[in-house]
Amino acid sequence: MTEVFVTSFYHFKEIIQVNSLRTKSLEYCTNINLLGTILISKEGFNGSISGEKASILKYFDWLQRELNLNFQIAERARWNKSNQAPFRRMRVKIKREIVGLGREDIKPFEKAGNSVKPSEWNNLILNPDVTIIDTRNQYEIEIGSFPNAINPKTKTFREFPDFVKNISIENKSKPVAMFCTGGIRCEKAAALMIEMGFEDVNKKRFCL
């Protein structure tokens, strides 16, 4: 029996020809029997797809060449095995944002703070001068979070900009450490905080 792999991946990058990339991606994924959903916008791509591992890697290689990426998508993706395909069809959608913050002017591909490796994360948050912010929603935070992390008390990610406006951090040069579930929200949140004047913004990386 062929193993089914499920992978989630994203990358912030300016994409000009979004319609062309959507059409080509849908055709390519369909031809190699991939299933799932990929979101494409002018700020990048964000997807969850399933299929044979070789087919997924083939699409990643194609996407890297198409967008002239200088890294391996497979190394940054999150991988899982499944007994059966969790998706019924292949969809590629064009969106205003690949993660909904409600701020299309924020460009994480230009500035998104420092990316902290998992092996370095604990040392960072143990620093008493670091402000830790959990960028997830209230429901996720109630399940568990890092000690001393600030809870923005948001229902959706679109409420995060209002939280940043009202956050009580007088010295914006002090380091800030941010995290989420898969990296995409804290990366965009980091870009927002830099835009709003914070100087030392760090986000947790969720891969090696």
Write out pLDDT tens, residues 10-57: 999 999 999 999 999 999 999 999 999 999 999 999 999 999 999 999
* Residue 100 maps to a domain: no
Average pLDDT, the chain: 93
Q: For residues 177 and 184, what is the distance between their CA atoms, to the nearest angstrom?
A: 14
* CATH code (residue 35): 3.30.70.100
* Residue 118 maps to a domain: yes
Please say whether the beta carbons of 163 and 106 come within 8 A: no
Q: For residues 199 and 111, what is the distance between their CA atoms, to the nearest angstrom?
A: 11
Clarify whether residues 82 and 120 are in a common domain: no
> What's the pLDDT score for residue 109?
93
* Residue 104 maps to a domain: no
In the set 29, 180, 186, 207, the catalytic residue is: 180
* Residue 107 maps to a domain: no
Question: In a 10 Å sphere around its CB, with 0-12 CB exposed, 13-18 middle and 19+ buried, how is residue 73 labelled?
Answer: buried
Domain finish residue from 94, 129, 160: 94
Clarify whether residues 156 and 128 are in a common domain: yes
> What's the pLDDT score for residue 208?
38
> What's the pLDDT score for residue 1?
55
Please say whether the beta carbons of 39 and 22 come within 8 A: no
Residue 107 pLDDT > 90, yes or no?
yes
Integer angstrom CA distances of residue 63 from 20, 57, 60, 178, 206: 12, 10, 5, 29, 21
* Residue 37 maps to a domain: yes
Clarify whether residues 127 and 197 are in a common domain: yes
> Hey, what are 43's tokens?
């700020």
Q: Specify the number of domains making up the chain.
A: 2
H helix and E strand count, the chain: 7, 9
Three-state secondary-structure class, residue 117: coil
Domain finish residue from 43, 61, 94: 94
* Residue 13 maps to a domain: yes
Active site residue 180: yes
Clarify whether residues 145 and 193 are in a common domain: yes
Integer angstrom CA distances of residue 107 from 13, 44, 80, 88, 198: 9, 10, 30, 33, 15
Clarify whether residues 162 and 190 are in a common domain: yes
Element (H, E) at 37: strand 35-41
Please say whether the beta carbons of 204 and 183 come within 8 A: yes
* Residue 103 maps to a domain: no
Q: For residues 134 and 163, what is the distance between their CA atoms, to the nearest angstrom?
A: 11
* Residue 33 maps to a domain: yes
Containing structural domain, residue 164: 114-204
Domain finish residue from 65, 94, 123: 94
Element (H, E) at 8: strand 4-12
Residue 138 pLDDT > 50, yes or no?
yes
Clarify whether residues 83 and 124 are in a common domain: no
* CATH code (residue 195): 3.40.250.10
> What's the pLDDT score for residue 169?
76
Mean pLDDT along residues 192-207: 88
Three-state secondary-structure class, residue 52: coil
Residue 170 pLDDT > 60, yes or no?
yes
Integer angstrom CA distances of residue 21 from 40, 62, 77, 127, 168: 8, 11, 20, 43, 42
Residues 140-160: tens digit of each pLDDT: 999 999 999 999 999 999 999
Clarify whether residues 120 and 90 are in a common domain: no
